[in-house]
Amino acid sequence: MKPNYFRMAVAYFVLTILALLVLIPIAAGALTAFKPSGIWVSSPPVWIFKPTLDNFKTILIERTQYMQLRNSLIISSGAVLVSLILGVPAAYALARFKFKGSSQLLGWLISLRMIPPIVVALPAFVLFRNVKLTDTHVGLILMYLTFSIPLVIWIMRGYFFELSPAIEECAMVFGCNRINALRRVVLPLVIPGIVATALLVFIFCWNEYLMALILSGRDTQTLPVAAATYVTRVEVEWGNLFAMNLIIMTPIVILAAIFQRQLVRGLTFGMIE
Amino acid sequence: MQVILVDLCKTFLGSVIAVDNLNLRIEDGEFAVFVGPSGCGKTTTLRIVAGLEQPDSGSVYIGDVDVVNLPPKDRHVSMVFQNFALFPNMNIYDNIAFPLQVRRWSKADIDKRVHEVAKLVGVEDLLDRKSKQVSGGQAQRVSLARAMVRTSDVLLMDEPLSAIDAKVRIQLRTEIKQLHQETKITTIYVTHDQEEAMTLGDKIVVMDRGCVQQVGTPYEIFHKPKNLFVALFVGSPTMNILEGKICKDENRGLMVELDGMKQQIPSRFCDALLNSNIEMVKWGIRPEHIKLVDGSEIDDTTGIVQVVEPLGSRDLLTIHAGHHTFKVMAEAEAVGHYNPENSCFLRFSGDFVHLFNAATDESLNGQP
C-alpha cells in the first residue's frame, strides 16, 4: 500500500510541536545551569555566553549536596531491590494460581496506587515517628515499597501471563521442582520485564518529592527535596536550581535511553488482559 | 511399564466434573490413545498421570508404584506438549539436553546422547538453531527428541500433532508410530482426532464427559461400538442413524419400522430383542457399508441423489431415501456414475447394521 504522505506530514508536524513544548523549557533550564550568576535571569534572555561550572561547584562542594545524591541512590536502589525480591515471586504466584481472595488481593494492590499520596502523608509521618523511622533510609524505602510493590506485581504478572504454563510444566516433568523451573526457565524469559519494572520503580523513587519531604531529615534528604530549597523566600537561585535539576535528570535520561525498548514494552504490558 | 488408573476423580472449581471415576489399565509397551471431544477429560487424565494435576481421589500406578503423591519429576515420565513448549531462551541442542542437564549428566554423555536422539528423530541439522527459528513440524520433532533423550517409563503426548500443518502431520504420525515400534515405550497419546486415534493406537480409549465410553482395538471401536456415542464419534463421515420401532412380520421375523421404510433385523440381534421389552431402537449403518445396487432385492430402497462430493478414489453421496437423508460412500467402481437428481437403489447389508436401545443409547451387541 502506498504510504499516505500527507497524513504522515501532519503527524510529524504535530509531534514536533509537542516535542518542542516539552523540550524547550528543559533546554532553557539546562542552559541556565551553565550560566554565571549575573545572567541567570535577564530580559531579554542571554543565549550566548561563556559556559561555567560554577553552579555545580556551589551546590556539590560548597553546599555538599553530593550527600543528597548518595541518599537518593541508596533509597532508590534499595526500594528497587526489595520490591523486586518481594514483588516478582508474588506476581508469579498471582499469575499462575487462583486462590481464595486472589482477585480481591489484586484489586486491593492496584487501589494502593490510586490513593493520592498526600492522603497518607500525615498519618505516615506520625506512624513513622512513633517507630523512629523518620530520617532513616529504611523508613523511606519502606514507604516507597507501598507504591512500588503493586507496580512490580501488576507489570510482572502481565509478563508471566504471557508465558505459556506449558513451559514450566515441561521443565517440571523433565526433572525440576517448581522453584527450579522458575529459576532455570521462567526467570530468564522475563528478564526484559524485570529490567523495565526496575527502571520504572527507580524513576518513581528517584523523582518522589512529597514523602521524601515529610519522612526525610537532615541526614537522609533526597535530591528533589534539596532542589526545592533553592526556591527561598528572598529569591530563586535559578542557576543552582537548574544545575541541581540537571544532576537529578541525567542518570534517568541515560538509563531510559539505554532501556528505551524494554521501558515502552513494560509500560504497555500487563494492561492487556 | 504398565500404567493403571484406579477410581480417578477430578473436578474443577468444585463443580465441573473433568474425570469421573475412571478405571483403566495400559499394558507395558502399549500405545494407548485417549480420544474424545474437547472437554471429555482426556487431557486432564493425561495431566494427572504426568503429575501436573492432582486428582480429587483415586490412584495412579506406574509399574507397581502408586505415584499419585509424587511430584512430576519423580515419576519417570516424559511428555510432549501440544504447543511444543520448547524453551525459547535456549537453542535446540540445549532444549534436547535439558532433561539430562537437570539430572547432572556429564557433558560428554549428554553430547553423545543428544546427537543419538537428534539423529533418530531427524533434527541433527537444527541443533545450533534458536527455538524460534524452527517450523512447527521441526519444533515437535525437537520436543519428541527431548521426551526420548532420557529413558522414561511412560511417554505422554498431549495432542502433539494438532498444531501442525496437515501434510507434515500425517508424515509425523507415521514416524511416531514407527518410533514406538522401535522403542516399545509405554505411550499415552491424547487426541480429539478419531482418525489419528485409529491409525496410531494399539488400544483406543474413547472418552466423553469424564467417563470411558469404550476401550478396545481400532477394529473393535470401529466395528463393535458399545454405544451410540462411540458409533458416532468414530468414522468419517459419521454413521447414518435412524430411529425406529420394532415390529413383527409373519414371514420375515423381526423388522424395524423406520419412517417410510422397513428393514429386516439381522438374526444376531433377535435374541437380545426378544428377551427384552425394547420397543424403540436406533438403527445405524456407516456410509461405506451402504451399497448402491440394481434394486433386485426386496429390502433395496429407492433414493434420489442430492449432492455428489468427489474425494478422488471414492465419491461421497448425499441421498434422499424413504423420508431420510443418507450419507453414502460410493465404491471405487461407482465413482462418476451418479449425478444429482439421479435415482438409485440402496442396500443395507445386515452384516454391517448397528442397533442401539433408543432409551439408553447402548448397543444391542449383536455379534457380526
Give this complex's ipTM.
Answer: 0.79
- Which fold is adopted by the domain B240-357? OB fold (Dihydrolipoamide Acetyltransferase, E2P) (2.40.50)
Size of interface A-B (CB pairs under 8 A): 58
Assess if residue A71 is contained within a domain. yes
Are the CB atoms for B239 and B284 separated by under 8 Å? yes
Assess if residue A46 is contained within a domain. no
Q: How many domains does chain A have?
A: 1
Assess if residue A41 is contained within a domain. no
pLDDT digits (tens, 9 = 90+) for B217-253: 999 999 999 999 999 999 888 999 999 888 888 788 8
Q: What is the structure's pLDDT at B251?
A: 80
Enter the pTM of the model.
Answer: 0.79
Which residue among B73, B78, B83 places its CB closest to the CB of A176?
B73
Q: Do A174 and B73 touch (CB under 8 A)?
A: yes
pLDDT digits (tens, 9 = 90+) for A78-120: 999 999 999 999 999 999 888 888 889 988 988 888 888 888 8
Query: In CATH, what class is B3-233?
Result: alpha beta
Are the CB atoms for B98 and B87 separated by under 8 Å? yes
Percentage with pLDDT > 70 across chain B: 99
CA-CA distances (angstroms) from residue A237 to A58, A221, A246, A248, B3? 11, 19, 14, 16, 81
Are the CB atoms for B121 and B175 separated by under 8 Å? yes
Among chain A residues, CA nearest to B156:
A173
Separation in Å, CA of B47 to nearest CA in chain A: 10
- Report residue B151 as a C-alpha cell: 529413558
Position B191 confidence tier, pLDDT thresholds 50, 70, 90: very high
pLDDT digits (tens, 9 = 90+) for B147-181: 888 888 999 999 989 888 888 888 889 989 998 99
Residues of A within an 8 Å Cβ radius of B? 164, 166-167, 169-177, 180, 184-185, 188-189
pLDDT for A142 beyond 90: yes
Q: Do B102 and A174 touch (CB under 8 A)?
A: yes
Question: Sheet harboring B301-310: ordered strands across?
Answer: B290-293, B343-348, B301-310, B315-321, B324-330
Among chain B residues, CA nearest to A177:
B73
3-state secondary structure chain A: CCCCHHHHHHHHHHHHHHHHHHHHHHHHHHHHHCCCHHHCCCCCCCCCCCCCCHHHHHHHHHCCCHHHHHHHHHHHHHHHHHHHHHHHHHHHHHHHCCCCCHHHHHHHHHHHCCCCHHHHHHHHHHHHHHCCCCCCHHHHHHHHHHHHHHHHHHHHHHHHHHCCHHHHHHHHHCCCCHHHHHHHHHHHHCHHHHHHHHHHHHHHHHHCCHHHHHHCCCCCCCHHHHHHCCECCCCECHHHHHHHHHHHHHHHHHHHHHCHHHHHHHHHCCCCC
Separation in Å, CA of B329 to nearest CA in chain A: 41
Residues 6 or more apart whose Cβ sits within 8 Å of residue A51: A34, A35
Position A19 confidence tier, pLDDT thresholds 50, 70, 90: very high
Q: What is the structure's pLDDT at B265?
A: 86
Percentage with pLDDT > 90 across chain A: 33
Are the CB atoms for B131 and B92 separated by under 8 Å? yes
Mutate to test the interface with B, among A102, A159, A174 (most CBs of B within 10 A): A174
Domain boundaries, chain B: 3-233, 240-357
Domain holding A116, by residue range, is 53-269
Instruction: Output the DSSP codes for B280-311.
Output: EEEEEE-GGGEEEE-S-STT-EEEEEEEEEE-
Are the CB atoms for B86 and B114 separated by under 8 Å? no
Q: Do B52 and A173 touch (CB under 8 A)?
A: yes
Q: Any idea what the CATH number is for the domain that residue A146 is in?
A: 1.10.3720.10
Assess if residue A255 is contained within a domain. yes
Separation in Å, CA of B90 to nearest CA in chain A: 9
Q: What is the structure's pLDDT at B368?
A: 44
Q: Do A175 and B102 touch (CB under 8 A)?
A: yes
d(CA B178, CA B173): 9
The phi, psi pair for A15, rounded to 5°, reads -65, -35
